[in-house]
């Protein structure tokens, strides 16, 4: 690979990392708004399904990005992005805490009470998200490379969906248990949110498989990569 190609690959890696971090941080900030996943609205034994937090909307993108990075740049670079995502989330938490502590002026469009209502649970949400995130992302990367080794680099759909299905199940379970334990969400909402969250994430994982194939194909064609070959960045 030429020096020019190395630089292009580095820029793409940074762009993917930026998208990953943005999706992760934003999902922690907006999680308190809930919506119905139309046209699905089902109630089973008093439990409403397909009620979801808007924080779930950008979150599946993080798993697609780590799978792409794992496939093209390798396991080490994928783990690096996960670690940077943790730092970014903790730093965003610090900013929110400081902003919440600063008193609003009398003419401020957003009062102290309103700000606290919207962002007051961010600390707990970030803590819960980070624990779930650590479990899920590292498991996702491990399972992805397990299937890649087992299939000798074949069956991209299997490692993409196999790793995401497992990690998203663990992620949804972990974060809901923590949020319910901290009384951010009532326990009677647990099963509805859990089932809805897992189905939604698995549905998105299936939908993003063609994009995974397309992006991997474009990467391999652009950088003339052979089967199972990964890009080694300059730093």
The two three-digit tokens of residue 152, written as one number = 């000798």
CATH of domain 3-222: 1.10.1760
| Angle, vertex CA 69, rays to CA 65 and CA 70, nearest 5 | 115
Q: What is the pLDDT of residues 13-62, one digit of tens each?
A: 999 999 999 998 888 788 778 888 765 566 655 556 677 888 888 878 88
- Indicate the domain borders of the chain: 3-222
pLDDT for the residue 230? 82
| Other Cβ atoms closer than 10 A to 14 | 11
* DSSP 8-state assignment for residue 215: H
> Given a cut of 70, is residue 159 above it in pLDDT?
yes
Phi, psi of 52 (to 5 degrees): -135, 150
Is residue 183 a contact partner of residue 172, using CB atoms and an 8 Å limit?
A: no
| Local confidence band at 171 (pLDDT 50, 70, 90 cut-offs) | confident
State pTM to two decimals. 0.82
The two three-digit tokens of residue 30, written as one number = 């907006």
Scan for tokens 């300059």, then name that residue: 234
């Amino acid at each position: 690979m030429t020096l020019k190609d190395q630089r292009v690959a580095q820029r793409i890696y940074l762009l993917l990392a930026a998208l990953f971090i943005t999706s992760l941080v934003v999902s922690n900030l907006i999680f308190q708004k809930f919506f119905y996943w139309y046209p699905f609205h089902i109630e089973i034994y008093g439990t409403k399904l397909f009620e979801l937090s808007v924080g779930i909307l950008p979150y599946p993108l993080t798993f697609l990005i780590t799978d792409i990075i794992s496939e093209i740049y390798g396991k080490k670079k994928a783990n690096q992005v996960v670690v940077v995502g943790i730092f970014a989330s903790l730093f965003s938490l610090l900013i929110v805490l400081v902003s919440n502590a600063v008193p609003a002026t009398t003419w401020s469009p957003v009062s102290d009470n309103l700000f606290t209502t919207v962002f007051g649970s961010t600390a707990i949400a970030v803590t819960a998200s980070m624990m779930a995130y650590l479990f899920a992302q590292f498991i996702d990367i491990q399972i992805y490379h397990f299937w890649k080794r087992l299939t000798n680099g074949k069956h991209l759909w299997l490692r993409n969906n196999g790793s995401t299905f497992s990690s998203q199940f663990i992620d949804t379970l972990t974060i809901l248990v923590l949020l319910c334990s901290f009384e951010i969400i009532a326990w009677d909402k647990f099963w509805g949110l859990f089932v809805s969250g897992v189905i939604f994430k698995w549905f998105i994982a299936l939908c993003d498989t063609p994009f995974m194939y397309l992006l991997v194909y474009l990467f391999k064609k652009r950088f003339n990569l052979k089967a199972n070959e990964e890009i080694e960045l300059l730093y």
